[in-house]
Chains A and B, each alone.
Chain A
Amino acid sequence: MIKLIPRVENSKVMILLSPLLAMTLTALTALIIFIFILDDIKVSSVFFTLFVLPLTDSYLFPELLVKAAPLMIIGLGLSIGFRAGIWNIGAEGQYVIGGIAGGAVGLYFYNVEGFWLLPLMAIASILGGMFYASIAAFLRIRYQVNEILVTLMLTYVAVLFLSAMLQGPLRNPAGFNFPESRIFHDSAMLPIIWEGTRLHIGFIVAIILSFVAWFGIKKHMFGMQIKITGSAPRAAKFAGFNDNKTVLYSLLISGGLAGLAGFFEASGPAGQLTPGLPQFYGFTAIIVAFLARLHPIGILFSALLIALSYVGGEEVQIEYNLPSSITQIFQGMLLFYFLACDILIKYKVVLNKTKN
Chain B
Amino acid sequence: MNESLFINIIIGISIASTPLIFAAIGELLVERSGVLNLGVEGMMIVGALLGFVVQFHTGNPFLAVFAALLGGMAISSIFAFLTQFLLTNQVATGLALTLFGLGFSAFAGRGYTEETIVLIKAIHIPVLSDIPFIGPLVFSMNPLVYLAFFMVYLVWWFLFKTKQGLILRSIGDNHDAAHAIGHNVVRYRFMAILFGGAMAGVGGAFLSLVQVPIWGEDMTAGRGWIALGLVVFASWLPFRIILGAILFGGITVLQLHAQGFDIRISAQYLSMLPYLATILILVSLRIRLKNKTNRTVPNCLGRIFHSTS
Q: Which residues of A contact B (CB under 8 A)?
A: 4, 6, 87, 89, 139, 143-146, 148-150, 152-154, 156-157, 160-161, 163-164, 167-168, 283-284, 286-287, 290, 323, 325-333, 335-336, 339-340, 342-343, 346-347
Contact = CB atoms under 8 A, between A and B. Distances in A.
Interface residues of B, number: 45
A335 B276 CA distance: 30
B276 A340 contact: no
Nearest to B217: A325
Nearest to A336: B96
A323 B222 contact: no
B92 interface: yes
A347 B86 CA distance: 10
Nearest to A164: B268
B214 interface: no
Given A156-B275, A339-B89, A143 B100 contact: no
A333 B95 CA distance: 11
B91 interface: yes
A332 B99 contact: yes
Contacts of A157: 272, 275-276
4 interchain residue pairs of minimum CB distance:
A328-B103, A332-B100, A325-B106, A164-B268
B107 interface: yes
A283 B99 contact: yes
A139 B225 contact: no
B282 A161 contact: no
A37 to B, nearest CB: 9
A339 B282 contact: no
Given A146-B232, A160-B271, A287-B99, A153 B286 contact: no
Nearest to A329: B103
Contacts of B287: 143
B82 A145 contact: no
Contact of A335 (B99, B110, B228): B99
B4 interface: no
B18 interface: no
Contacts of B286: 143-145
B82 A163 contact: no
A290 B88 CA distance: 12
A111 B104 CA distance: 45
Interface string B90-124: 01110111011111101100100000000000000
12 contacts: A6-B306, A149-B282, A286-B92, A287-B99, A323-B106, A323-B110, A326-B107, A328-B106, A335-B95, A336-B100, A339-B96, A342-B88
B88 A343 contact: yes
B279 interface: yes
B61 interface: no
Given A153-B278, A329-B100, A160 B82 contact: no
B308 interface: yes
B266 interface: yes
Interface string B283-309: 100110000000000000000001010
Interface in B219-239: 221-222, 225-226, 228-229, 232
A346 B86 CA distance: 11
A326 to B, nearest CB: 6
Interface in B34-92: 38, 78, 82, 86-89, 91-92
Given A163-B268, A335-B92, 17 more contacts: A4-B87, A146-B232, A149-B229, A149-B278, A150-B282, A157-B275, A157-B276, A161-B272, A286-B95, A325-B217, A328-B102, A332-B97, A332-B99, A333-B100, A335-B100, A339-B86, A339-B88
B269 interface: yes
A336 B229 contact: no
Contacts of B96: 287, 332, 335-336, 339
A340 B268 contact: no
B99 A331 contact: yes
Contacts of B266: 164, 167-168
Interface string B5-38: 0000000000000000000000000000000001
A325 B268 contact: no
Contacts of A339: 82, 86, 88-89, 92-93, 96
Contacts of B217: 325
Contacts of B95: 89, 283, 286, 335
Contacts of B278: 149, 153
A139 B286 CA distance: 10
B153 to A, nearest CB: 26
B195 to A, nearest CB: 21
Given A332-B99, A340-B88, A153 B268 contact: no
B92 A160 contact: no
Contact of B104 (A150, A329, A347): A329
Given A139-B283, A150-B282, A328-B99, A336 B82 contact: yes
B290 to A, nearest CB: 10
Contact of A343 (B86, B97, B100, B102): B86
A336 B222 contact: no
Nearest to B91: A87
A144 B288 CA distance: 12
Contacts of B100: 328-329, 332-333, 335-336
Contacts of A168: 266
B82 A340 contact: yes
A137 to B, nearest CB: 13
Contact of A153 (B82, B102, B225): B225
Of residues B86, B89, B232, which shows the largest number of chain A Cβ atoms within 10 Å of its Cβ? B86
A150 B275 CA distance: 9
Nearest to B110: A323
